[in-house]
Structures are given as structure tokens and as C-alpha cells.
Structure 1
Amino acid sequence: MIGKLDLYKVFSVVAKNGSFSKAAKDLFMTQPAVSQAMMQLERELDIRLFNRTPKGVTLTNEGERLFEYVHSAMNLLNVGEEMLLEFKNLTKGELKIGVGDTISKYFLLTYLESFHTEYPNIKFKIENGTTQELISLLKLGEVDLAICNFPVDEPTLAQIPCMDIHDIFVYGNKYKTLLPKEVSVTELMKHPLIFLEPKSISRKYMEEFLLSKGLRISPEFELGSHDLLLEFAKINLGIACVTKEFSQEYLKKGILHEVVLNEKIPKRSIGICYVKNVPLSPASTKFVEIIRNQRDGSLGPS
């Protein structure tokens, strides 16, 4: 038995053509099948919709009233299908990304540019916040993807590492004479320290590393952004814990200098998170694909 929506589609075509046989050609159905479908619809609605004559069919008064609504509904469905096709083909849509300021500046912008060049009609909505804030937005459905610091302890999220990063300590010119060529972490803790605020993943990661060495930190300054860490170190307010990959401009120009530790701080990564049981939109899927292709093809392993 044909479903109700299909019956209304047949009804609409028959009403436009004024003929079962013409409607059958448009629908790629047999004429008896079209006739049976309209009889079924009339039985289900318990009302006659067509006046049947040797020359064809005309709508009854009730059929004309129904056709007004069915015609509007069919048009809306067609518009909806066309819109879905636009979203699928990435000719329309929105990409909502959660990201921190530092990762946005030093990692995300290149990929946004590539995506926008290829799909200029997709709109961006960028939400800024700490990793924990972004995870909350992701779980609430406020963003499609979050690009943040790993590790993220959240089993409901899929995590795609994209770039290895390294935590280092940097200092300004004043500390050149105060620090030996190589220093232990214990000795480093005796100097004024500049860290990100406690709620950041980067800060928590370093605290865990230092605790494994039996050390607790009491920073001179706790700041809300990576760029401020660099600027505070630049004017010799202390030794800052920063991400090496996001500090290259200062290091290459000799504005800041990397502390040479006698033991390595384990690397970590930044990457993409999304909710496991929620399918990615076509725009989100393509954006992830662009990042992966550019990282693997152009940059190679981090």
C-alpha cells in the first residue's frame, strides 16, 4: 500500500494534469496504479476528491480545498530538498567552531582561509574560550567542532590529534646573565615564573609534569593569554612557560630565549574534538578533511 505522503504527491500531479493517464506518464506509473492510489486516498479521507468523466477528471469542491494545502506542502518539501542539496554540496550552510585565541591565531587561520577559498558561501561562527569551556559548548550543541589542547578527558568525544606541541620556558635579555647554559627544573623554580591561569589545559599539563618531579609552582604572574606570557617575559618580569610552536617569532628574532633544561618535557598535541554519537555536517566533515590533508600532505609529521 502506498504511504500517505506518496498519495498526496500523486494527488497533486493528477490535479494539475486533470487526467490519470497524463499523471501516470509524469510519475512513471501505470494508469491503473494512479487510479488505485486516488481511490485509496479517497477511502482513507472518506471523501470524494475527483469528478470522473470520459474526458478526464476535475476536482470536487473538497478536492480543490485540499489541493491548495497539498500544493503548498509539496512546494515546501521541494524547497527543503533543494536546501538539503545545497548543504550537501556545500553551496550553503554554517560551520560553528569553538577555539581558543592562541590556537585560532597560530593554527586555525590557515585552514579557515583554505576552506573559505574553496567554499565561499559557507558562513563561519567562531566561539572563543578555554578548552573546558569549548567542551561544554560542544556537548550542548553550540558548536560543531572544538579545536583545543589535548589531552581531553571526555569519553563522549572523538579526538583527532593534528599537531604536536612542546612546552618550554623562555626569558628576556636580563636573564641571560642569571641562568646557566643548562638548568634543572628544580633550579628553574627558584626564579619568578609566569604561567597561564590555573583553569587552562596547558597550565594543568605543566603542573602534573612538575608534580611528578615533586615540585609545586607558585607563579609570580598568572595570565589569560599566551601572547601576554610572551610580552611579560619580553620585559623581564620573569620566566614564562609557553608553547614553542606559537612563540617562533620571538625566538627567531632573539627577543626571547629558550631555557635549556637538562630533562625534556613530554610533548602533547592540539586537535579536533566532536561528539561521537552526533554525525558531522557536510561542512564540518570537509573542514576536518582539509586540515588532515594539509597536515599530512604539506607539513608531514609534526
Structure 2
Amino acid sequence: MDQHLLVFVMVAEKQNFSRAAEELHMTQPAVSQYIRALEENIGIRLLERTNKYVQLNKAGEIVYHHAKEILGLYTKMQNLVDDLTNKAKGELKIGASYTFGEYVLPHLLTDLQRQYPEIEPSVTIANTATVAELVTSHQLDIGIIEGGFKDKELMEENFAEDSMVIVVSTHHPLALKEMVTISDLENEIWIVREKGSGTREATEEMFHNLLFTPKKKIVFSSTQPIKEAVEAGLGISLLSKWAVQREIINKDLKILHTKGLPFSRQFSMITKSRFQTKALELFIELLRSCESLTFGRGK
């Protein structure tokens, strides 16, 4: 592995030479020497330094982006070589969109660790667009996303279905109705995810299919605050049944029934390389085994 790139990435992320040195178990002068050598080799300054922090300049941002990709490829190469021993171990970098990452993935990782304790998973939870970008740049081994995602660089496989439902506070007037109308839905404030998320894509698809536009939308960047806002009576939302099952059981939220709902969407896995480590192969097998997502979690 190119130690110069490793040191550079650490300094860029820590924004501090001494903290980077501590993380890398090196002396601060050694870290400075590596950065100086890298800048001389590339032929341009990469970091702007002040007394309090260091910061990437434009050239540094370019080098940082490609350094992360190079280091990711190196790690994957090393893991593939290690797999020749046919033992599942080492790092497994997983990305997941919020619904799957927060409400389903922890249970799968529990199973994975029980069976293969030498696999070391690290998880990044972000919206669908961000997860796909990180898989494309080799910073993640696999991404788990919601809804369709078209990218010729990535291999995509649907592996499970997810039901989307409209939820409301149990104290909301609509909670008293057995069936709600399109007019009821249109006149409500909708609490939605940000653009780029699979849940937002599903919500916009629902608006289109039911032929209405809500009078007002309020945007949140993750599911948990949406549930809190709905429970507080701020508005209503379309969410995965996985995300709200606990609140439904506790009677904090109620599912609204209307024609055309619930509807299903797909959970998909995306990968970039056709070469897979043993750890990744086993994790993919585990994902495929939960096709119906009815393994009784979260009760």
C-alpha cells in the first residue's frame, strides 16, 4: 500500500497533523515528511495550513478523491488474495440506505457475526444516491438501496420486497377513518425525505399514481425525525412498514388505508467488481436468504 496516500488521507480527514500521527502511530515530523514528499512528487501543494487546522485546496480535493479509490482497490485486492486460504475474514465495507440500514441490517449483521466472527463489517448509512456513488468509487464493497437505480457501471440485483404505507399520529383526525380519500391526502402536510433517497422516490411515485399534489411538503434527511414529526401531529408520511412496525405495535402511529396502498418496492444490492471476497460472497448469500423479509425481527 502507498503509505504516502494513506498518510495524506488521514491528515485530510483529521484536518490536523498531530491527530493523524496519533491515529497512524507515527510521529508528527514523520507525517509532515510524508506529506511534503507527496506534494513534491505530484508537483503542487495539496494542503492549506493554519495554526489550528489543515484544509484541502482544489488540487488536494482531486488527490483525496482518487486516493480513497486507490486505497479501496488495494484493500479489496489484498482481501481477494487472502481468500485463497478459503477462510472468511477481514474487512467488509457495506453501504445501506436509511430504511434498510437502520431497521433491517443490524439483525443481519448479528447473524453474520455469529457465523463468521473474523469478518469485520463497517457500515455507512446514507441515501441511495450517495451509497451508489461510494460503491462506484470502490469505497464500499456493496450497497443496499431502495427502489430502482440505473447505472451501467454497477451490477444490481433485487433481493427482497418492502411494503410502503401512509402513517399518521393516532391522535390525528384521519386516524378515525377506516378509509381515506385522495382529497384527504391532498389537503395534508406531507413529511418527506430529501431528493436522492429511495423513500422520497417512492413518495413521488405514489403522488403520481394517485394523481394528486400535496398542499405542502416538509423535508427531513432521515427517517427517525420523520416518525417523530408525524407522531407529534406535524403531518403524514409514506414510510416502510419496517421503519414503523414498533410505533404501530405501541399505538404511537396508525396506518391509513386508501385505494392503491400499500404498494411494494424492491430492496436491491449493488456492486462494482465481479471479483468478490469470501466475506462479500457470504454476505450476499445472507441477503438472498431473507427474500421475503419475514424473519420476525423487531417485535
Q: Structure 1 residue 157 and structure 2 residue 154: aligned? A: yes
Residue 256 of structure 2 corresponds to 259
Equivalent pair of 1:102/1:227 in contact (CA under 8 Å): no
Question: Percent identity at matched positions?
Answer: 20
TM-score by length of 1: 0.65
Q: Structure 1 residue 231 and structure 2 residue 197: aligned? A: no
| Paired AA for residue 182 in structure 1 | M
Q: Structure 1 residue 273 and structure 2 residue 250: aligned? A: no
Shift, 1:104, TM fit: 1.6
| Paired AA for residue 116 in structure 1 | Q
Residue 136 of structure 2 corresponds to 139
- 1:56-71, aligned counterparts within 5 Å? none
Q: Is 169-178 or 101-110 further displaced after alignment?
A: 169-178
Q: Pick closer, same or farther for the CA change 1:218–1:145 going to 2, 3 Å.
A: farther
- For 2:80 and 2:275, the matched residues in 1 are separated by 18
Equivalent pair of 2:144/2:268 in contact (CA under 8 Å): yes
Q: Structure 1 residue 106 and structure 2 residue 103: aligned? A: yes
Q: Which of 285, 291, 294 is the aligned partner of 2:281?
A: 285
Q: Structure 1 residue 190 and structure 2 residue 191: aligned? A: no
- 1:41-120, aligned counterparts within 5 Å? 84-85=81-82, 88-120=85-117
- For 1:237 and 1:217, the matched residues in 2 are separated by 14
Q: Pick closer, same or farther for the CA change 1:165–1:219 going to 2, 3 Å.
A: farther
Equivalent pair of 2:174/2:180 in contact (CA under 8 Å): no
Report the aligned-residue RMSD. Answer: 2.8
Residue 127 of structure 2 corresponds to 130
| Unpaired stretches in structure 2, ≥5 consecutive residues | 1-76
- For 1:201 and 1:278, the matched residues in 2 are separated by 25
Shift, 1:228, TM fit: 1.3
Shift, 1:185, TM fit: 2.7
TM-score by length of 2: 0.65
For residue 174 of structure 1, give the secondary structure of its aligned residue in structure 2. coil
Q: Is 291-300 or 242-251 further displaced after alignment?
A: 291-300
For residue 247 of structure 1, give the secondary structure of its aligned residue in structure 2. helix
Residue 58 of structure 1 corresponds to none
- For 2:170 and 2:121, the matched residues in 1 are separated by 41
| Paired AA for residue 269 in structure 1 | Q
Shift, 1:253, TM fit: 1.5
| Paired AA for residue 237 in structure 2 | A
Q: Is 216-225 or 111-120 further displaced after alignment?
A: 216-225
- For 1:85 and 1:199, the matched residues in 2 are separated by 36
Shift, 1:177, TM fit: 5.9
Shift, 1:129, TM fit: 1.3
Q: Structure 1 residue 249 and structure 2 residue 251: aligned? A: no
- For 1:265 and 1:294, the matched residues in 2 are separated by 21
- For 1:188 and 1:81, the matched residues in 2 are separated by 53
Q: How many residues align?
A: 220
- For 1:295 and 1:166, the matched residues in 2 are separated by 13
Equivalent pair of 1:209/1:265 in contact (CA under 8 Å): no
| Paired AA for residue 265 in structure 2 | R
| Paired AA for residue 233 in structure 2 | N
| Paired AA for residue 175 in structure 1 | H
- For 1:82 and 1:261, the matched residues in 2 are separated by 50
Shift, 1:169, TM fit: 1.2
Shift, 1:160, TM fit: 2.4
Residue 35 of structure 2 corresponds to none
Q: Pick closer, same or farther for the CA change 1:103–1:280 going to 2, 3 Å.
A: same
Equivalent pair of 1:93/1:121 in contact (CA under 8 Å): yes
- For 2:111 and 2:203, the matched residues in 1 are separated by 33
Q: Which of 201, 206, 212 is the aligned partner of 1:215?
A: 212
Equivalent pair of 1:229/1:241 in contact (CA under 8 Å): no
Shift, 1:260, TM fit: 1.1
| Paired AA for residue 282 in structure 1 | K
Equivalent pair of 2:89/2:279 in contact (CA under 8 Å): no
